[in-house]
A = this chain, B = another copy of it.
Amino acid sequence: MSATQSLAAYVANANTEDLPPSMLHEAKRTLINILAVSLSASADSGSHALIDWARDEGAAPKASVVGSTLRTSAFNAAMVNGFLAHLQDYDDTHFPTVLHPTAPVWPAVLAVAEERGTSGRETLAAFVLGAEAACRVAMSVHPWHYDMGWHITGTAGVFGAAAGAGRVLGLGTDEMNTAIGIAGTFAAGVREVFGSHAKAMHPAKAASNGVQSARLATQGFTGADDILGGRRGFWQVLSPNGHDEVALLADLGSRWELGNNGLKPYANGVVSHPIQDAVITLRNEHGIAPEDVASINAEVNPLVLELMNRAEPRRGLEGKFSFQHCAAAALVDGAGHDAQFSDARVADPVISAVRSKVSATIDEAMREDEVRLSITLTSGQVHSIYVEHATGSPENPMTDSALEAKYRSLAGEALPASQVEELLGAVWELDSAPNVEQVTRLMTKSEG
């Protein structure tokens, strides 16, 4: 079997009963996390534009949009929900690859499950397998692919979305390979759009393209036989500098990449999270006020400068890709929620003043979840801290209760408190639910 066929065969034939309970639990956690950030994101102007687009499509109401009264086709719902899940850069991160596996995969799986009336348990299993496929494809091209400038969440994401949607549809090995062989040629998304709404369209398109590919595969539509390994396939064209077939297939069914996936405590690029942990800890321990700061310097992993070096962000979304802004907002506000990345907070003179005092130097030995940071005060005093593993990293995961606190805070921006609690309960009980209807109903707004 080719590389793609081997992956397809695994996803199509894995027994739901063989999935570890810890992974089904992690599937619920990732769903709670993206429901939280999607509900918060639903108020954004970009979300309004995309929801208006979907509303004007006028499609048949088969699947629900988070935080909206809109019901639409599974294709459109997957697109909008994929956008909402990633817009705030507040979703989860697969640490080995910087892939955000949930935003492309859960919206695809949930929309098809809602349309089909799939059981909660089978839906959770489809997500686990789809996320595994996305992570495995990402690992097979990491780091070469991301280094070229690809946004791996869009490119690897569409494989996971097709696999997850195909699993809900019950595709056999050949149809699953076809679904992936169609979806894989839609792989897209460049890092140039970071800092704009278009970034969140990457998982949006991955999710909807996955839904459509799985459906077309059931209708005799044809795709590539080996979209990953073929001579003009994904590996050769989108990762010409290297690929790793072993990373794609090794230990499938015994090692689970959702175990290497972290939930975010801050609404911005993950590589600056250790900086924010460090600044907030020092700020709270020593009562540092903005006007006390002479300089903030961090010794960091090279990706911080590669991805997040924007000394003067011009708008909120750019602030999420500015380690300088992340550090300054952490110092001034003691937080890194989406509220710290509004256009107003980016333009705020107090934050701007601190931002101009933030610098970073590369330490090649520093991991991505690690930092050594010092704050020098105008008095000359220096406070230093070492963060070994940032909150939300695999070695220091967010607890269920911390996740619930994040969820309540963000979901409460869009839904009444009672509905916030009901929805949370419905997700925690999803593995025993006959279908996903409770979740998809409670994640929406009521008419009028």
Binding site for B on A (CB under 8 A): 45-46, 48-50, 52-53, 56-60, 73, 75-76, 148-150, 154, 181-182, 184-194, 196-198, 201-202, 205, 209, 212, 215-216, 219-224, 226-227, 230-234, 236-238, 240, 317
A-B pairs with beta carbons under 8 Å apart, 6 shown: A48-B219, A49-B221, A53-B215, A53-B216, A196-B223, A197-B222
With known contacts A50-B216, A317-B222, A58–B56 Cβ distance under 8 A: no
Q: Nearest Cβ in chain B — how far from A10, in angstroms? A: 21
Q: In the complex, what residues of B have CB within 8 A of residue A149's CB? A: 231-233, 236-237
Residue contact B181 to A185, C-beta cutoff 8 Å: no
Q: In the complex, what residues of B have CB within 8 A of residue A220's CB? A: 45-46, 49
Residue contact B58 to A73, C-beta cutoff 8 Å: yes
Residue contact A188 to B185, C-beta cutoff 8 Å: yes
- Identify the 10 closest CB pairs spanning chains A and B, nearest first: A58-B60, A49-B219, A149-B237, A149-B232, A191-B232, A188-B188, A192-B233, A196-B222, A192-B230, A192-B232
Q: Nearest Cβ in chain B — how far from A360, in angstroms? A: 19
| Bound CA–CA A184/B234 (angstroms) | 19
Q: Nearest Cβ in chain B — how far from A377, in angstroms? A: 36
Q: In the complex, what residues of B have CB within 8 A of residue A234's CB? A: 190, 192
Q: In the complex, what residues of B have CB within 8 A of residue A226's CB? A: 192
| Bound CA–CA A238/B187 (angstroms) | 12
Residue contact B223 to A193, C-beta cutoff 8 Å: yes
Q: Nearest Cβ in chain B — how far from A299, in angstroms? A: 25
Q: In the complex, what residues of B have CB within 8 A of residue A150's CB? A: 237
Q: In the complex, what residues of B have CB within 8 A of residue A221's CB? A: 46, 49-50, 197-198
| Bound CA–CA A188/B186 (angstroms) | 5
Q: Which of B190, B231, B232, B317 contacts A185 (CB 8 A)?
A: B190
Q: A53-B219, A191-B237, A192-B226 given. 13 additional CB < 8 A pairs? A: A52-B219, A57-B59, A58-B58, A58-B59, A149-B233, A185-B189, A185-B193, A185-B198, A190-B238, A192-B224, A192-B227, A196-B222, A196-B224
Residue contact B223 to A197, C-beta cutoff 8 Å: yes
Q: Nearest Cβ in chain B — how far from A231, in angstroms? A: 7
Q: In the complex, what residues of B have CB within 8 A of residue A227's CB? A: 190, 192-193
Residue contact A231 to B59, C-beta cutoff 8 Å: no
| Bound CA–CA A392/B50 (angstroms) | 42
Residue contact B224 to A198, C-beta cutoff 8 Å: yes
Q: Nearest Cβ in chain B — how far from A200, in angstroms? A: 10
With known contacts A215-B53, A232-B192, A240-B148, A201–B222 Cβ distance under 8 A: no
Q: Nearest Cβ in chain B — how far from A253, in angstroms? A: 27
Residue contact A190 to B60, C-beta cutoff 8 Å: no
| Bound CA–CA A6/B39 (angstroms) | 38
Q: In the complex, what residues of B have CB within 8 A of residue A45's CB? A: 220
Counting chain B CB atoms within 10 Å of each CB, the highest count among A52, A76, A186 belongs to A186
